[in-house]
């Protein structure tokens, strides 16, 4: 009898556990996954009206109010469309993995994706994105920054719309440096001098860890020295300009913290914010932080375009960052999804991004807009920077290209191979990759 | 006598050093959680916060639905532990004591399952969960975690059941008890240390799992704690103060559970042997 | 012998009962794991790249041959082996010391047991990030401590140097998982009857002798189980390395799991990525066979 009681207790405990789990998750599962056409049912209305539509928007975490305001204003403008915001982790890689896993399984639960500027080619080739040429005619596209538009174009077709953009900047201590340097050489000289005079611990701080950011930083040297990676789907990286550029990059290690080869954006920001460095290369997001109350260099910071190399153009070329908006090929509400995207890239939506979100807009006219400039005065200088920013190589195999660049450039910075070998390895790898 | 005192002092000193080294990183985490934002990144770092700053704890709970994450983790981890330990207790006893063919094959199969890196099986598992409608649910994670923890649980319990001296069971058999009855009334209590240890390990494994939780439960309301904490940073920013505070909050319940159960981890055979 | 009561009275023979008792666990594993494992195997025999899913075709063992010829695969294997062997060895020794200490009667051992479990209880990504900051070349507390103790004359970039980066990962891993070993070994120590020690003391054996002749042999089964699982985990290490070094510097800390991850998720090369996963499985399988053989030998001598 006692064993029966014991068994009974176990059984009850199990039941409880299972019930709890099924109940807790149950309402969600029946809601979202057992009905594939769920996104079209009227979630709030009792009867299903064909008018009411809910679309799902997946975006990495937004630290500002921009997303909330965008959705509010959009729903006010289109009362029959509700937007369900699926907040993703902030790291680009984690979003990428999530989306790849879901999309390769044919998931249709998300209608609009916010995708990193380097993903359109990859996702489009895999057949996951809906072409937008019909929705977004050429004359409309002219109103936008061409760099981001290029990043959305794959084989002549448009697979995404630009969302907001980003470009590398040179931050400098205006209390120590009167005129920002225009060439890498000058930057090195000024940085070294300030170090020798003991005014700062380090001349220059940037990102050189083995990760995607390394490619962004390295390309700024290469592009600013007249080098290029891909031209018409052919590799043109192997040039004296590129080799020279890499050597300039390496030289900067002399005036940077020893650990800079492990630094990502946050590390370089912290170093600069603590007043330890004269120059920093980082993205525009850092501007608000270095001027905040926690920063030890508040009000002492200026920004300037990326310097150029000896064989460069008129100005240095920043690397293009930013995010784009795309429609899931399996979406059941493509028209509504486009309306949402259209709203975000309209003047009203872009203004929200610029003012509430502090993001660089992709709509060119906003760089002269009074409201935008009032909220972000430094955007006035940013226009030239973004106009001249160059994207990373556009290819469905970009991740493999990036990987080869990361590994070889990092080995070069660690003194394991020289610049020529690094460039050669990357070139060979890319040729192999493109041959597939 | 003098020698004993010396060796006892030495023992305690070594013990203290040992504990300090183990606990030090956690101590660092705790003081970081109380540091004011302007002090977080000081070069060189400060060893004690200049002022007690509770803002990190407040924002850890208010910026994101941290309590929800805690609830989700608690439900998933507890259910996984209950189910996994329950199911493998039976399996473990059978493998340890009963006679039937294929025991080694079964153990090997259980082991083989845990030999695959999680990243390789996450995609196909996602597909399965999608087909069964178990995405964004508790059950999906519970089933997955149970599968992952069964191998360790089974092997552990099999080993423990094997160590219980046979005379207990012989005595019970002589008294006319069935194998099942022996299992419930005699073996289980004696194997309590093994069972509690296994339960703690399974619980922690389920509590801390990240990859599957991230992939299967994308709705914020269903996220577990590790994924929730991954939602704290911005694209380039790292609110280390908030993350430290959240981590401390996450670890404390586990510590309390262990403190409560640590007696159970070590009680057992000695008591049983005396009785027998 | 009397007839047994209870279930036995229905006449269920022992072996059927045995199968019944293992079925729930087995069912769980098979249901969930079979499809993913099978799919990984089959994908590894194709050249499937997500960018062109329609162009995927069966290529037999080509992925494997390419991998075995790839220097990057072998350096990843070397890194993984180095990491595994060193970590597990250290964890075994330290874990054993922990277990012995926690087994002894002294004041406050409850707190000690709880404290010892702290590293294992912290989620991996958190502890990896924590260690990353502790190793930092500018504001890392390890540099601070070593500098104040006079062990180093200037701050070093521990994670930025190929000679120390893997060791940084090993130390972080040992810190985190020695408690796991310690806990299992402690439970194992509990199964040793006190009378054996008493008898040995009566026989005049020293503490050290007792350790080798009583403790070690009897704790061996538990130790081997702990070792098997610890080795499996160390071989498949991913989260720690990913957060701590991302595979750097100069790709010198890339392990097999990271390599597989990069192929699968970054490059969307499901063919190669799956092949690496299968190779990981094969390596781990061979290692387990060795352990199981040891365990069986142990069981035989124990049963005698």
CA–CA gap between residue C281 and residue B117 (Å, rounded): 8
Model pLDDT for residues C107-141, shown as the tens digit of each residue: 777 778 778 888 888 888 888 989 998 999 988 89
User: Is residue A93 domain-resident?
Assistant: yes
Q: Where would I find the H helices in C135-215?
A: 141-148, 162-190, 194-202, 207-210
CA angle (C196, C200, C203) in 5-degree steps: 145
Q: What pLDDT is attached to residue C77?
A: 95
Q: Are A181 and A101 within one domain?
A: no
CA–CA gap between residue C48 and residue C45 (Å, rounded): 9
Q: What pLDDT is attached to residue A112?
A: 97
Candidates C103, C90, C295; CA nearest to C186 is C103
Model pLDDT for residues A311-325, shown as the tens digit of each residue: 988 888 999 999 999
Q: Which two tokens stand for residue B169?
A: 């069971």
Residue A35 has pLDDT above 60, yes or no: no
Q: Taking residues A346-350, what's their average pLDDT?
A: 95
ipTM above 0.90 for this complex: no
Q: Are A218 and A344 within one domain?
A: no
In chain C, which residues have their Cβ closer than 8 Å to the Cβ of B35?
Answer: none
User: Is residue A383 domain-resident?
Assistant: yes
Q: Are A261 and A305 within one domain?
A: yes
Q: Which two tokens stand for residue C288?
A: 């387990």
Is the Cβ of B61 closer than 8 Å to some Cβ of chain A?
A: no
The CATH number of the domain holding residue A216 is 3.40.190.10
Q: Which two tokens stand for residue C158?
A: 């521990």
Range of the domain at B95: 71-275
Is the Cβ of B184 closer than 8 Å to some Cβ of chain A?
A: yes
User: Is residue B45 domain-resident?
Assistant: no
More confident residue, B117 or A153: A153
Q: Tell how far CA A394 is from the center of its chain.
A: 14
Question: Do the strands A53-60 and A81-88 form a parallel or antiparallel pair, or are they unpaired?
Answer: parallel
User: Is residue C3 domain-resident?
Assistant: no
CA distances from A48 to A38, A42, A80, A86, A336 (A): 11, 5, 12, 23, 17
- Answer whether A212's CB lies under 8 Å from A116's CB: no
Residue C100 has pLDDT above 70, yes or no: yes
Residues 6+ apart with CB under 8 A from C143: B44, C135, C136, C137, C152, C155, C156, C158
Residue A6 has pLDDT above 90, yes or no: no
User: Is residue A372 domain-resident?
Assistant: yes
Of the pLDDT bands very low, low, confident and very high (cuts 50, 70, 90), residue A144 is very high
User: Is residue C294 domain-resident?
Assistant: yes
Do B231 and A283 lie within an 8 Å CB cutoff?
Answer: no
User: Is residue B62 domain-resident?
Assistant: no
Q: What pLDDT is attached to residue C192?
A: 82
More confident residue, B54 or A16: B54
Residue A15 has pLDDT above 80, yes or no: no
User: Is residue B232 domain-resident?
Assistant: yes
Model pLDDT for residues A87-104, shown as the tens digit of each residue: 998 889 889 988 998 998
Best interface-test mutation with B: which of A26, A31, A89, A268 has the largest number of B CBs within 10 A? A89
CA distance B58 to chain A (A): 17
Q: What pLDDT is attached to residue B187?
A: 77
The full 3-state SS of C231-263, as one line of letters, equals: HHHHHCCCHHHHHHCCCCCCCCCCCHHHHHHHH
Q: Are A156 and A243 within one domain?
A: no
Neighbours of B62 (CB within 10 A): 10
Neighbours of C23 (CB within 10 A): 15
**With a CB-CB cutoff of 8 Å, which residues 106-125 of chain B face chain A?**
122-123
Neighbours of B130 (CB within 10 A): 20
User: Is residue B10 domain-resident?
Assistant: no
Give percent above pLDDT 70 in chain A.
Answer: 89
More confident residue, A400 or C12: A400
Do C24 and B93 lie within an 8 Å CB cutoff?
Answer: no
- Answer whether C295's CB lies under 8 Å from C224's CB: yes
Q: What pLDDT is attached to residue A205?
A: 96
Chain B's closest residue to C299, CA to CA, is: B162
Q: What pLDDT is attached to residue B146?
A: 93
CA distances from A214 to A208, A218, A262, A296, C207 (A): 5, 6, 10, 27, 57
How many domains is chain C built from?
A: 1
Q: Are A306 and A423 within one domain?
A: yes
- Answer whether B63's CB lies under 8 Å from B232's CB: yes
Q: Tell how far CA A134 is from the center of its chain.
A: 26
User: Is residue B200 domain-resident?
Assistant: yes
CA distance B36 to chain C (A): 16
Instruction: Write the residue in C101, C191, C238 that is nearest to B160 by C-beta.
Output: C191
How many domains is chain A built from?
A: 2
Candidates C170, C132, C137; CA nearest to C246 is C132
Q: What is the DSSP letter of A306?
A: P
Residue entry with tokens 């029959």? A80
In chain C, which residues have their Cβ closer than 8 Å to the Cβ of B151?
Answer: 29, 229
User: Which residue ranges of chain B lie beneath pLDDT 50?
Assistant: 268-276
Type and span of the H or E element at B84: helix B66-97
Q: Are A279 and A213 within one domain?
A: yes
User: Is residue B9 domain-resident?
Assistant: no
Candidates A96, A92, A112; CA nearest to A104 is A96
Best interface-test mutation with B: which of C33, C53, C155, C194 has the largest number of B CBs within 10 A? C33
List B122's β-bridge partners, or say none: none
Q: Are A196 and A341 within one domain?
A: no
Of the pLDDT bands very low, low, confident and very high (cuts 50, 70, 90), residue C7 is very low
Is the Cβ of C110 closer than 8 Å to some Cβ of chain B?
A: yes
CA distance A352 to chain C (A): 32
Q: Tell how far CA B33 is from the center of its chain.
A: 23
Residues 6+ apart with CB under 8 A from A174: A300, A301, A302
User: Is residue A2 domain-resident?
Assistant: no
Q: Which subunits count as partners of chain A given 3+ CB pairs below 8 Å?
A: B, C
User: Is residue B268 domain-resident?
Assistant: yes
Model pLDDT for residues A248-278, shown as the tens digit of each residue: 999 999 999 999 999 999 999 999 999 999 9
Residue A36 has pLDDT above 80, yes or no: no
Q: Are A261 and A379 within one domain?
A: no
Instruction: Write the residue in B126, B142, B237 that is nearest to A101 by C-beta.
Output: B126
Q: Are A308 and A420 within one domain?
A: yes
Residue C8 has pLDDT above 60, yes or no: no
Neighbours of B50 (CB within 10 A): 11
**Residue B133, Ramachandran bin (φ over 0: left; ψ between -120 and 50: alpha; else beta):** left
Q: Are A332 and A299 within one domain?
A: no
CA distance A117 to chain C (A): 15
The CATH number of the domain holding residue B117 is 1.10.3720.10
CA–CA gap between residue A122 and residue C52 (Å, rounded): 9
Of the pLDDT bands very low, low, confident and very high (cuts 50, 70, 90), residue A50 is low
Q: What pLDDT is attached to residue B267?
A: 56
Q: What pLDDT is attached to residue C57?
A: 86
Instruction: Write the residue in A96, A104, A410 that is nearest to C251 by C-beta.
Output: A410
Q: Which subunits count as partners of chain C given 3+ CB pairs below 8 Å?
A: A, B
CA–CA gap between residue A349 and residue A366 (Å, rounded): 11
Residue entry with tokens 């009974």? A8
Q: Which two tokens stand for residue A95?
A: 């979003």
CA distance C275 to chain B (A): 10
Range of the domain at C29: 17-303
How many domains is chain B built from?
A: 1
Instruction: Write the residue in A6, A18, A98 that is nearest to B218 by C-beta.
Output: A98
Range of the domain at A406: 169-317+397-434
Instruction: Write the residue in B123, B178, B255 that is nearest to C114 by C-beta.
Output: B255
Model pLDDT for residues C132-169, shown as the tens digit of each residue: 989 999 888 999 999 989 888 888 999 999 989 999 99
**With a CB-CB cutoff of 8 Å, which residues 48-107 of chain C face chain B?**
97, 101-103, 106
Measure the N-to-C terminal CA separation of chain C; round to a whole number of Å. 25
Q: Are A218 and A311 within one domain?
A: yes
- DSSP SS3 for A234: strand
Q: E strands along chain B, which residues?
A: none
Residue A16 has pLDDT above 60, yes or no: no
User: Is residue C12 domain-resident?
Assistant: no
Q: Are A261 and A408 within one domain?
A: yes
In chain C, which residues have their Cβ closer than 8 Å to the Cβ of A96?
Answer: 265-266
More confident residue, C66 or C101: C66
Q: What pLDDT is attached to residue A33?
A: 37
CA distance A277 to chain B (A): 12
Q: What pLDDT is attached to residue B40?
A: 84
User: Is residue B125 domain-resident?
Assistant: yes
Among A17-21, A79-83, B271-275, C264-268, the minimum mean pLDDT is found in: B271-275
CA distances from B113 to A22, B148, C28, C45 (A): 26, 8, 11, 20
Residue C300 has pLDDT above 60, yes or no: yes
Of the pLDDT bands very low, low, confident and very high (cuts 50, 70, 90), residue C295 is confident
């Amino acid at each position: 009898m006692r064993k029966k009681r014991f068994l009974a207790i176990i059984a009850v405990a199990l039941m409880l556990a299972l019930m709890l789990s099924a109940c807790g998750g149950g309402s969600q599962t029946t809601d979202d996954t057992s009905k594939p056409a769920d996104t079209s049912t009227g979630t709030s209305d009792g009867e299903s009206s064909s008018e009411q539509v809910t679309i799902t928007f997946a975006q990495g975490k937004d630290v500002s109010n921009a997303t909330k305001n965008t959705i509010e204003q959009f729903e006010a403008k289109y009362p029959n469309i509700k937007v369900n915001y699926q907040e993703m982790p902030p790291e680009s890689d984690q979003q990428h993995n999530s989306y790849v896993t879901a999309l390769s399984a044919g998931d249709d639960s998300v209608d609009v994706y916010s995708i990193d500027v380097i993903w359109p080619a990859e996702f489009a080739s895999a057949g996951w994105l809906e072409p937008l040429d019909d929705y977004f005619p050429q004359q409309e596209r002219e109103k936008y920054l061409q760099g981001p538009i290029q990043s959305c174009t794959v084989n002549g077709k448009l697979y995404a719309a630009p969302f907001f953009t980003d470009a590398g900047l040179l931050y400098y201590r205006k209390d120590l440096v009167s005129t920002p340097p225009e060439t890498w050489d000058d930057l090195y000289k000024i940085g070294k001098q300030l170090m020798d005079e003991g005014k700062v611990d380090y001349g220059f701080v940037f990102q050189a860890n083995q990760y995607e950011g390394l490619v962004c930083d390295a390309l700024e040297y290469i592009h600013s020295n007249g080098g290029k990676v891909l031209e018409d789907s052919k590799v043109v990286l192997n040039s004296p300009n590129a080799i020279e550029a890499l050597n300039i990059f390496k030289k900067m290690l002399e005036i940077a913290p020893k650990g800079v080869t492990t630094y990502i954006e946050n590390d370089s920001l912290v170093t600069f914010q603590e007043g330890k460095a004269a120059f920093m290369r980082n993205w525009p997001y850092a501007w608000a932080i270095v001027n905040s109350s926690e920063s030890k260099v508040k009000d002492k910071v200026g920004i300037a375009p990326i310097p150029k190399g000896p064989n460069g153009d008129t100005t240095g070329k920043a690397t293009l960052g930013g995010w784009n908006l795309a429609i899931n090929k399996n979406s059941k509400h493509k028209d509504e999804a486009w309306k949402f995207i259209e709203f975000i890239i309209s003047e009203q939506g872009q203004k929200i991004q610029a003012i509430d979100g502090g993001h660089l807009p992709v709509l060119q006219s906003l760089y002269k807009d009074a409201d935008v400039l009032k909220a972000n005065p430094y955007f006035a200088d940013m226009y030239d920077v973004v106009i001249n920013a160059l994207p990373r190589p556009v290819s469905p195999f970009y991740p493999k290209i990036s990987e080869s660049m990361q590994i070889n450039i990092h080995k070069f910075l660690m003194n394991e191979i020289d610049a020529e070998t690094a460039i050669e390895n990357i070139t060979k790898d890319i040729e192999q990759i493109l041959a597939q | 006598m003098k020698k004993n005192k010396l060796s006892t002092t030495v023992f305690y000193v070594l013990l203290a050093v040992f504990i300090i080294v183990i606990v030090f990183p956690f101590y660092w985490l705790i003081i970081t959680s109380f540091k004011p934002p302007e002090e977080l990144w000081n070069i060189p770092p400060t060893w004690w916060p200049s002022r007690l700053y509770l803002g990190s704890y407040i924002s850890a709970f208010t910026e994101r639905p941290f309590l929800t994450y805690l609830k989700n983790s608690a439900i998933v981890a507890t259910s996984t532990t209950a189910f996994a330990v329950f199911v493998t207790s039976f399996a473990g006893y059978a493998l340890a004591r009963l006679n039937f063919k294929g025991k080694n094959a079964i153990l090997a199969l259980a082991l083989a399952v845990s030999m695959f890196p999680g990243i390789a099986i996450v995609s196909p598992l996602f597909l399965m969960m999608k087909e069964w409608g178990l995405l964004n649910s508790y059950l999906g994670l519970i089933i997955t975690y149970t599968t992952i923890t069964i191998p360790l649980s089974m092997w552990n319990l099999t080993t423990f059941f094997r160590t219980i001296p046979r005379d207990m069971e012989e005595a019970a058999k002589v008294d006319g008890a069935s194998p099942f009855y022996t299992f419930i009334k005699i073996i289980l209590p004696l194997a309590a240390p093994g069972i509690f240890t296994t339960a703690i390990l399974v619980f922690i494994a389920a509590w801390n799992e990240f990859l599957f939780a991230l992939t299967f439960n994308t709705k914020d309301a269903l996220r577990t704690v590790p994924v929730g904490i991954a939602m704290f940073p911005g694209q380039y920013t790292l609110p280390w103060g908030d993350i430290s505070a959240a981590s401390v909050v996450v670890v404390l319940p586990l510590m309390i559970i262990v403190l409560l159960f640590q007696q159970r981890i070590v009680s057992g055979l000695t008591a049983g042997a005396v009785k027998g | 012998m009397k007839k047994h009561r209870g279930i036995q009275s229905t006449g269920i023979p022992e072996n059927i009962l045995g199968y019944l008792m293992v079925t729930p666990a087995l069912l769980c594993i098979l249901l969930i794991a079979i499809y993913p494992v099978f799919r990984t195997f089959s994908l590894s025999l194709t050249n499937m790249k997500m960018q062109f899913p329609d162009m995927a075709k069966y290529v037999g063992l080509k992925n494997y041959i390419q991998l075995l010829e790839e220097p990057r695969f072998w350096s990843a294997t070397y890194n993984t082996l180095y990491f595994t062997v060193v970590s597990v060895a250290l964890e075994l020794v330290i874990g054993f010391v922990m277990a012995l200490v926690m087994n002894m009667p002294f004041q406050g051992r409850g707190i000690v047991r709880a404290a010892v479990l702290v590293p294992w209880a912290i989620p991996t990504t958190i502890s990896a990030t924590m260690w990353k900051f502790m190793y930092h070349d500018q504001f890392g507390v390890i540099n601070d401590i070593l500098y104040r103790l006079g062990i180093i004359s200037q701050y070093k970039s521990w994670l930025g140097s190929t000679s120390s980066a893997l060791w940084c990962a090993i130390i972080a891993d040992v810190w985190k998982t020695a408690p796991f070993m310690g806990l299992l070994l402690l439970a194992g120590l509990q199964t040793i009857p006190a009378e054996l020690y008493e008898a040995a003391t009566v026989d005049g054996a020293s503490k050290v002798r007792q350790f080798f002749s009583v403790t070690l042999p009897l704790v061996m089964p538990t130790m081997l189980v702990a070792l098997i699982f610890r080795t499996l985990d160390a071989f498949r290490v991913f989260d720690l390395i990913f957060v701590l070094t991302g595979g750097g510097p100069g790709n010198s800390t890339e392990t097999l799991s990271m390599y597989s991850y990069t192929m699968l998720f970054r490059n969307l090369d499901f063919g190669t990525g799956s092949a690496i996963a299968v190779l990981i499985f094969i390596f781990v399988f061979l290692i387990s066979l060795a352990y199981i053989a040891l365990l069986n030998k142990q069981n035989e001598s124990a049963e005698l």
